[in-house]
A and B are shown apart, each in its own frame.
Chain A
Amino acid sequence: MEYLYGIIIIVGLYVILATSFNLIIGYGGLVSIAHPVFFALGAYTSAILSRDFSVPVLLAMLAGMLVAVVASIALALPSLRVSGDYLMIASIGFQLGILEVIKNLRFTGGPGGLTNIPPFLIRDFGRESYVLLVLAVMLGVIALVWWISRGDYGRAMSAMRDDELAFSSIGRDAIWMKIAIFALGSGLAGFAGALYAHYFRYIAPEQFEILQSSAILTMVVVGGMRTTWGPAIGALLLQALPQAITFLNLPPSVLGPIQGLLFTGLVLVFMFVRPQGLVPARDIWRAAPRSNAENR
Chain B
Amino acid sequence: MAGVLEVKNLSKSFDGIVVARHVDLTLQSGRVLGLIGPNGAGKTSLFNLICGVVKPDGGTVSLEGAPLDGRKFHQRVRSGLSRTWQHTRLFPSLPVIDNLLVGTTDYPGERLVNVLFGRARLRAHDTVARDKAQGFLGKMGLSGVADDLVSDLPYGQQKLVGVARALMGDAKCLLLDEPMAGVEGQAYAAMQRVVREIAESGVAVCVVEHNIAFVRDLCDEGVFMFSGAIMARGSVAELIRDPQLTELYFGH
Contact = CB atoms under 8 A, between A and B. Distances in A.
Interface residues of B, number: 40
B115 A284 contact: no
B105 A284 contact: no
B55 interface: no
Interface string A166-190: 1111111110010010001000000
Contact of A163 (B91, B122, B149, B168): B91
B85 interface: yes
B109 A165 contact: no
Nearest to B162: A166
12 contacts: A147-B115, A152-B110, A152-B122, A155-B94, A156-B102, A163-B90, A170-B168, A171-B107, A173-B72, A177-B110, A285-B94, A291-B123
B168 A295 contact: no
A209 B165 CA distance: 46
B101 A155 contact: yes
Interface stretch (B9-17, B28-36, B60-68, B73-81): B73-81
Query: How many residues of A sit at the interface, in one of the four size bands?
Result: 20 to 34
B103 A295 contact: no
B51 A170 contact: no
Interface string B84-122: 010001111111001101110101111110010000001
Interface in B156-170: 165-166, 168-169
A148 B112 contact: yes
Interface of A: 147-148, 151-153, 155-156, 158-159, 161-163, 165-174, 177, 180, 184, 283-287, 291, 294-295
The 10 A-B residue pairs with the shortest CB-CB distance, nearest first, are: A152-B109, A170-B103, A171-B77, A166-B89, A168-B73, A162-B91, A171-B78, A159-B91, A168-B74, A153-B115
Contacts of B93: 158-159, 161-162, 283-285
Contacts of B74: 167-169, 171-174
B193 interface: no
Given A152-B107, A152-B110, A173-B74, A158 B91 contact: yes
B206 to A, nearest CB: 15
Interface string B115-158: 10000001100110010000000000000000001000000000
B165 A170 contact: yes
Contacts of B110: 152-153, 156, 172-173, 177
B83 interface: yes
B150 to A, nearest CB: 10
Contacts of B166: 169-170
Contacts of A173: 72, 74, 110
B102 A155 contact: yes
B248 interface: no
A155 B168 CA distance: 16
A148 B72 contact: no
Contacts of B168: 170
Contact of A155 (B53, B82, B90, B109): B109
User: Which residue, B73, B93, B111, has most C-beta atoms of chain A within 10 A?
Assistant: B93
